[in-house]
Chains A and B, each alone.
Chain A
Amino acid sequence: MEFFVFVCSASMILVGAVGVIVRKHPVHAALSLVLTLFGVAVLFVAQEAHFLAAVQVIVYAGAIVVLFLFVIMLLGVDRVENLRTEPLSGQRPLAVLASLGLVAVLITAILRGNQIFNERGTGLNLPDSQNGPDANTVQLAESIFSQYVVAFEVTSVLLVIAVVGTVLLTRRTRAATE
């Protein structure tokens, strides 16, 4: 069963990811990104990360992709990009080579390193009759609001800074409009 879920969502992820980098139209690339993000959300559910799957759909597939589409439409850059011409000669083969090398290094490290997963944490609470249906959310909340509460508060400061900075960046000054 998990094999079936893995194959379906892995193909969703890879088709979407390839779509992002080969579609000429930025809107099509953004819609391919949604496919990838949904596939990742499905794999989160398959790996008992239920709260993160919900956040993935709401924040990534909802907010971030809508923000991308909003900016594409706002700027009117929804034109087809010419992918045939290569701006720098020899860049694409080098880029393919570099990415393949990176993937090869990562896969080698994964295959060689999977014997060292020895240390075990305190355990993941799974939703069952004893823990209740919200076990993952409850456990994640206990981790965030006890051990990482300072980091959580700093994140809120980061979000405020990001919002204020973006407003400052995109605001037209009065001198510029006159």
Chain B
Amino acid sequence: MTAFSLEPTTSWYLVLSAILFGIGTLGVLVRRNPLVMFMCIELMLNAVNLSFVALARELNDINGQTIVFFVMVVAAAEVVVGLGIIVSIMRSRSTLTADDLAGLKG
């Protein structure tokens, strides 16, 4: 067991990103507003990005940063489509909770 050092190692960043991912999961499970659920999905994507960047530095590999770039692009596209779906659903109803979408089932 090495002496406790105050220099952040890769494990610190990975643990932080695990906690951030857990908070995002909790938000998706608990909140009923689809917009806030989307924000929690963004939290989870950011947690994954953070661990990719931490591992890119640990492993001296630029590909970790490349994939974060692609994750950001796909996240932007996902938010655009998701918000479009929410806007078109909101045309026909006035409240916005995820429970209302049960009306979509056949």
Question: Of the candidates B22, B35, B59, which one forms a contact with A121 in the assembled complex, judged by CB atoms under 8 Å apart?
Answer: B59
Report the number of A-B residue pairs with Cβ-Cβ less than 8 Å: 225
Q: What's the tally of chain B residues with a CB closer than 8 Å to chain A?
A: 72
Interface string of B61-105 (1 = CB under 8 A from A): 111011011101111111111011111101100001101000000
Q: Which residues of A contact B33 (CB under 8 A)?
A: 26, 77, 81
Q: CB of B1 within 8 A of chain A?
A: no
Number of interface residues of A (CB under 8 A): 81
Contact of B87 among A26, A75, A120, A123 (CB under 8 A): A75
Chain B hits for A17, CB < 8 A: 20, 23-24, 43
A29 touches B11 (CB 8 A): no
CA–CA, A72 to B61, complex, Å?
40
Contact surface of B with A, Cβ cutoff 8 Å: 6-8, 10-16, 18-27, 29-33, 35-36, 38-40, 42-43, 46, 49-50, 53-63, 65-66, 68-70, 72-81, 83-88, 90-91, 96-97, 99
Q: A residues within 8 Å of B by Cβ?
A: 2-3, 6, 10, 13-14, 17-18, 20-21, 26, 29-30, 33, 36-37, 40, 43-44, 47-49, 51-52, 55-56, 59-60, 63-64, 67-68, 71-72, 74-75, 77, 81, 87, 91-92, 95-96, 98-100, 102-103, 106-107, 110-111, 114, 117, 119-125, 136, 139-140, 143-144, 147-148, 151-152, 155, 158-159, 161-163, 165-166, 169-170, 172
